[in-house]
């Protein structure tokens, strides 16, 4: 069982931490690095693959789990999330064959790499976007202001009244961001396009530009949003764009949002996560990775059909494991969710969680590749959100 393996890893001497600037004699083990509110001895409840119940580990042990590639849910504040899954009594959507080419194609032709390049340059200029850091909060505030600027610049007056911005508050300071375009005919049905905004180094106190993980997904969704509102997109269903906080801390932000929606019995039709969309490994075929494990098969198949119809590159099936990105939070709550990534998991960017996760590190980092994922996000929003007035 992977849960037992993770526990064994935690007790292994191989997990000895590199020398960092903290006082190991202090029982609270506070970091002496400025700008962080992180107690390395704080006890957290985590759920590992194969575990029936969560277990307590320290923040330091969470960091060590991440260092060994072990994914987990931090359920300290959302331990009952899975309980909502059985309470969501609603008819599942029968996903249609994509057919809104007359609406989607004109929008994807307006998408550009210019915005993603400029936005990612700024987003990666923060020393780290770690969710418990001062710069993590600052980067979230910048992102929110940038979304507001784009809305004012590109959304026609007729659309602005339908758009709302929400900071979903979290106790750690970096909030999740939710942008909602109210549906015109069935507003209680919701389609979600999402990414996570935070970054981390293997040791959180070190710089973490997070260009690919998940700066690329962040600007992917942002460019899709810009293209949609510039076209005057007024969906039949409500379409939301989410940028989650604290994915790197155990899917904390997305769990909190998913729990809130489930507690209100929100009717989320489908959710699509974009996490790492920029890397094309040298010598490999450019493609869209469609995750097939721990996802909703119907939503994933729908994304495959969208790739076939609207993108200039093919898809490839791949797996990323348990709790590997924010789609897992929505699946845990009983909502249909999917996850697309830059390639097969094996060919994805190996510079993540380091100072080398930069947009200028290699010609393998491709804004043209990001653009393909923005096309996919647009197609997902239009095909599932509907746009009957335009028709």
List residues with catalytic annotation: 196, 213, 247-248, 275, 353
Task: Tell me the C-alpha distance between 335 and 267, whole Å.
Answer: 9
Contact at 8 Å (CB) between 131 and 172? yes
Both tokens assigned to 165: 């911005």
Contact at 8 Å (CB) between 86 and 93? no
Dmax (CA) for the chain in angstroms is 68
Contact at 8 Å (CB) between 320 and 291? yes
Closest CA to 181 of 256, 116, 144, 232: 232
- 352: Cβ–Cβ under 8 A, 6 or more apart, which residues? 210, 212, 213, 276
Contact at 8 Å (CB) between 62 and 248? no
Task: Tell me the C-alpha distance between 166 and 151, whole Å.
Answer: 14
SS3 for 110? coil
């Amino acid at each position: 069982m992977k849960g037992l393996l993770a526990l064994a890893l935690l007790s292994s001497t191989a997990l000895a931490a590199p020398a960092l600037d903290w006082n190991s004699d202090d029982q609270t083990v506070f970091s002496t690095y400025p700008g962080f509110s992180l107690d390395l001895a704080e006890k957290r409840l985590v759920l590992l693959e194969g575990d029936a119940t969560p277990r307590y580990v320290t923040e330091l042990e969470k960091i060590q789990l991440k260092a060994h590639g072990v994914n987990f849910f931090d359920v300290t504040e959302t331990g009952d999330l899975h309980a909502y899954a059985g309470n969501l009594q609603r008819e599942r959507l029968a996903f249609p064959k994509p057919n809104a080419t007359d609406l989607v194609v004109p929008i994807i032709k307006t998408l550009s790499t210019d915005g993603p390049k400029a936005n990612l340059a700024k987003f990666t200029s923060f020393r780290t976007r770690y969710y418990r850091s001062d710069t993590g909060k600052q980067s979230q505030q910048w992102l929110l202001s940038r979304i507001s600027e784009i809305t004012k610049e590109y959304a026609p007056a007729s659309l602005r009244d339908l758009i709302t911005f929400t900071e979903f508050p979290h106790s750690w300071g970096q909030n999740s961001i939710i942008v909602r375009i109210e549906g015109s005919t069935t507003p209680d049905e919701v389609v979600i396009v999402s990414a996570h905004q935070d970054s981390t180094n293997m040791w959180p106190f070190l710089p973490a530009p997070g260009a690919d993980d998940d700066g690329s997904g962040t600007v992917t969704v942002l460019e899709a949003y810009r293209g949609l509102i510039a076209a005057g997109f007024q969906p039949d269903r409500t379409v939301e764009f989410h940028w989650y906080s604290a994915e790197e801390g155990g899917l904390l932000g997305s769990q909190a949002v998913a729990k809130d929606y489930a507690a209100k019995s929100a009717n989320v039709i489908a959710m699509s996560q974009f996490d790492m969309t920029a890397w094309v490994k040298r010598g490999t075929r450019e493609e869209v990775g469609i995750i097939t494990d721990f996802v909703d098969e119907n939503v994933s198949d729908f994304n495959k059909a969208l790739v076939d119809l609207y993108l200039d590159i093919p898809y490839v099936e791949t797996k990323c494991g348990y709790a590997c990105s924010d789609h897992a939070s929505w699946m845990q709550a009983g909502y249909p969710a999917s996850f697309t990534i830059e390639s097969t998991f094996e060919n994805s960017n190996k510079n993540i969680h380091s100072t080398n996760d930069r947009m200028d590190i290699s010609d393998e980092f491709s804004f043209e590749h990001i653009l393909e994922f923005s096309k996919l996000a647009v197609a997902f929003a239009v095909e599932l959100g509907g746009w009957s007035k335009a028709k």
